[in-house]
Chains A and B, each alone.
Chain A
C-alpha cells in the first residue's frame, strides 16, 4: 500500500492530487490557489497545489512512495520539488484521463471508455473496452493523422471572439438559439467527419476551422448568424460522435455502458445526445473531465497498476480545503452579523429573492460548483438570469443550472438513465412540459433543456436539506445553483474570498458552515 502524488502541469489546468492506499485523499487545482483562471494562465506548474497537499496532510515530499506525472513531465519542476527520480513514473495523457474516469465510475460490467479532447501527448483520444477492472485499449487517435472535435470547438470559440479553454460553454449555450443550415453544416462536416475506423478526419482541424470561419467574420456577425454557426458545429459534432459510438456498439454490442472523459465532454448537450442513443444503458462523465482531472487520473492509474485500486463509484468531488466555524469567524472579524443556520429560515430568504452564498466543507474538484462553493437563488424567477449576470458581473449565455431533490427529479426532468452522472451536473435532460414555466431561471428557453444536479441526503445532507425546506415552503424541489465566484475569477476557496463577495453586495447573505452572515 502506498502514498502517491499525482501531478499535471506545464500547459493549462495544472493540478496535484494525493491518493493513499488507492483512496483519493485530496486534489487541488492550481487556479484556485493562485486565483487566476487556468484559461488565462498557460504554462503553470502546480507548485502551490503540491505545497497545499504537503501542508494539509502534514507530510514531506519524501514521504510519497511514488509520484505519478501525467506527460509531459516538467523536469525543472520535479527537480525543484526534490523528488527522487526513481520514484517518478510518467503516464500518457489519455491513459490518465481514461483510467481516472473508469476507476471512479464503479462500472464493473462491460463498458466503453472514450477519452477525447483537443490533444494531449501525441493523441486526440483513446478508446478502451473495460470489464471487471480490466481495460483494453482498442484505438488511439494520433494528433498528426486524426481530426479533433475538441480543437474545432476551441477554435470556433476563438473565431467567435471569445477565449479558448475558457468560453467554450458560451458556444454550447448559443447553439440552442441557432438553426440548421445545410450549406454551413456541409462545410463544417467537410473539416470534421467520422472515418469508419474509430477515428475522425481530416487530420487536425484548428487551421481548417479558422480558415473556414475567418471569411465569415463571425466575431462581427449578428447574434443569429453566430448562433447558427454554433448550432451547426454542435450538430456536426453530435452526429459524428454518435456515428463513432454506434459503430463501437455494432462491433462490440455487449458493451452498453459508457465512460466519457476529456474536455470535449464538458459539452452537456453532446453528452445528452450520447445518453439518448437507444442502446446506451448508462453514461458516466468524469466530473473533472478536462485536464483538471489529469493529476487525479495519473495517481489513480499508478495505484491501479500497483493493484491498490479497483473501479469504485465516486461519492463526491469535495476534495479541496475546508474551514472550521472558528476560522470563518476569524475571517469575518466582526464585519457582518451572524446567526445560526436554519434551513427553514434560509428557504424563506431564498423565496424572498435573496442571492445566497453557500460555503460548506471541502471545495469541489472540477469545473462545477456542486454544493460546497455555490450561489443559490430561486429557480422560479424569470428575471433571475439577468439579475444574476448583473450582480455577479457575468455575461452568461448558458442558462444557470438547477439542483433538485433526487427523489423528485424524475417528476421534473426526462431522466430515465445516467442518474449518477447527473449528481455531478455533467448532462443535459429535457424538462417535462408542465415544469418549463415553473422554473424558468434554470431552463434553456430555446430547447427546454436543463443540466440538473441530483442531490442525495447521504452524500450532501445540508444541500439536500435546504432543497427539502424550500420544497415544503413552495412545493418546488428545485433551486438554482451557480458557482461562487465573480466574473473571470476561479471558484472561491477561502472564507475571506466569500466575505469579499458579501461585502461587495454580490450576494445578500452567506451561509458558511453553521452560520448565516449578512450585512
Chain B
C-alpha cells in the first residue's frame, strides 16, 4: 500500500495499491499551530485505490490518520501524516486584479516562505512587474501557468512548455507528495460564501447533516476565507489564509458572535 498526501486547495489523501480494502481517514488540525491542541475535524471511510479530500482551503497545521480493519484486532492505525511544507513546493495564487493588493500579498508570500522554509511559487497577473523587483528567492509566475494536476496540464497541451521552471508533474502520476509536485496550494482572494451547506461543487457537506462538528465548522464563513472579508484589510485576508497570524484569526472568529454570551 502507498499513501500520498497533498494540500492543494484542501487536504487530500490518495491510497494506492490497496484494491478491495477499506480505510478510515481522519482529518484534523493542530489548532492555531499548537501541537498540544489537536482537533479532529472530520472522518470518512473510503475504499482502496481512491482519493479523498475536504474543502477547507486555508493554511493550518493538518494531521491525517489512516486506519485499516483487522478481523481479530479491530481498528489499526497504519499511517499518519502531519502537514510540513519544509523544503517543499508551495503554490500561492494571488486572485486579485489590483496591483496594490497583489503587492501586499506578495510581501505576505515572502513572509510565508521565511516562516515555513518552503519553496514558494507565486502566481500573479502582475508577474512581470514583480519579477523585476523580486529580491527574494521566490518564483514568480503568470497566473495562468498554475496547473496543479497533470491531467489539466495535459488537457492544455503544455507538457513540454515550462518557461518559468515551475514544478513539472506532467510525466508523473498523482505523486503529490513527491518533492517535484506542489505539496500545498493556497489562493488568496475575496471569495463568495458557500450558502446552505452546499459548497462550490454542489455537495452537501457532512457537517450539515446534523453531525456534531457542525457548529464548529459553521463559525467559519466559507471554505476559502476563514472570516468574512468585507471589513478586512488586504493584509488581514492574506494573514488568515496563509495562517500567518492565527491569534488575530481567533479574535476575528470570536467577533462573529453577535450576541452576549453567558460566562458562568
Please provide the chain A residues from 218 to 250 with a CB less than 8 Å away from any CB of chain B in the complex: none
With beta carbons under 8 angstroms apart, the residue of A42, A95, A119, A151 that contacts B262 is A95
Which of under 10, 10 to 19, 20 to 34, or 35 or more describes the interface residues of A? 35 or more
Contacts of A95 in B (CB 8 A): 262, 264
CB distance from B108 to the nearest CB of A (A): 28
Whether B38 and A71, one on each chain, are in contact in the complex, defined by CB atoms closer than 8 angstroms, is: no
| Shortest Cβ distance from residue A45 to the other chain B in the assembled complex, whole angstroms | 14
Kindly supply a per-residue 1/0 record for chain B positions 1-31, scoring 1 wherever the CB is within 8 Å of any chain A CB and 0 otherwise.
0000000000000000000001010101001
The answer to whether B212 has its CB under 8 Å from any CB of chain A is yes
Residue-wise, chain A 462-502 has the 8 Å CB interface mask toward B (1 for contact) of 00000000000000000000000000000000000000000
Q: Kindly report which residue of chain A lies nearest to residue B258, judged by CB atoms.
A: A75
At the interface, yes or no: B45 with Cβ under 8 Å from chain A? yes
> Is there contact, CB below 8 Å, between A208 and B259?
no
Residues of A within 8 A of B73 (CB): 187
Task: List the interface of chain B (C-beta within 8 A of A).
Answer: 22, 24, 26, 28, 31, 37-41, 43-45, 67, 69, 71-75, 209-216, 218, 257-262, 264
- Would B218 and A145 count as touching, CB distance under 8 A? no
Chain A residue contacts of B210, Cβ below 8 A: 11-12, 42-43
Q: How far is the CB of B98 from chain A (nearest CB, A)?
A: 32
Known interface pairs A12-B210, A89-B260; A145-B37 also in contact (CB < 8 Å): yes
Give the shortest distance, in Å, between B202 (CB) and chain A (any CB).
19
**26 A/B residue pairs, CB under 8 Å, sorted by A:** A42-B210, A71-B261, A72-B215, A90-B259, A95-B262, A95-B264, A99-B264, A118-B212, A143-B40, A144-B31, A144-B213, A144-B216, A187-B73, A207-B26, A207-B44, A208-B67, A208-B75, A210-B45, A211-B75, A212-B69, A212-B74, A214-B45, A215-B22, A301-B262, A302-B262, A305-B262
A303 to B140 alpha-carbon distance, docked (Å):
60
Rounded to whole Å, the gap between the CB of A508 and the closest CB of chain B is 39
Complex Cα distance A188/B74, Å? 8
- Say yes or no: A151 contacts B75, CB within 8 Å: no
Contact between chains at B75 and A144 (CB < 8 Å): no
**A66 CB, nearest partner CB in chain B, Å:** 10
Complex Cα spacing A29 to B215, Å = 21
User: Is A292 close to B, CB under 8 A?
Assistant: no
Q: Which of A72, A90, A203 contacts B40 (CB 8 A)?
A: A203
**How far does the Cβ of B256 sit from chain A's closest Cβ, in whole Å?**
10
Chain B residues positioned under 8 Å from A92 (CB to CB): 261-262
CB–CB B209/A42 < 8 A = yes
Q: Assuming A89-B262, A203-B38, A207-B24, what are 17 further A-B pairs, CB within 8 angstroms?
A: A11-B210, A69-B259, A75-B258, A89-B260, A90-B257, A91-B262, A99-B264, A143-B216, A186-B74, A187-B74, A203-B28, A206-B212, A207-B26, A207-B44, A207-B45, A212-B69, A302-B262
A43 cross-chain contacts in B, Cβ below 8 A: 210
- Set B38, B45, B71, B261: member contacting A144, Cβ < 8 A: B38
Give min CB distance, A190 to chain B, whole Å. 5
What are the residues of chain A within 8 A of B24 when measuring CB–CB? 207-208, 211
A397 located at the interface, meaning its Cβ lies under 8 Å from any Cβ of chain B in the complex: no
Q: Nearest chain A CB to B56's CB is how many angstroms away?
A: 14
Closest chain A CB from B203 CB (angstroms) = 18
Docked CA distance A258–B129 (Å): 70
Most chain A beta-carbon contacts within 10 A, residue among B72, B209, B214, B259: B259
Q: Is A73 an interface residue (CB 8 A)?
A: yes
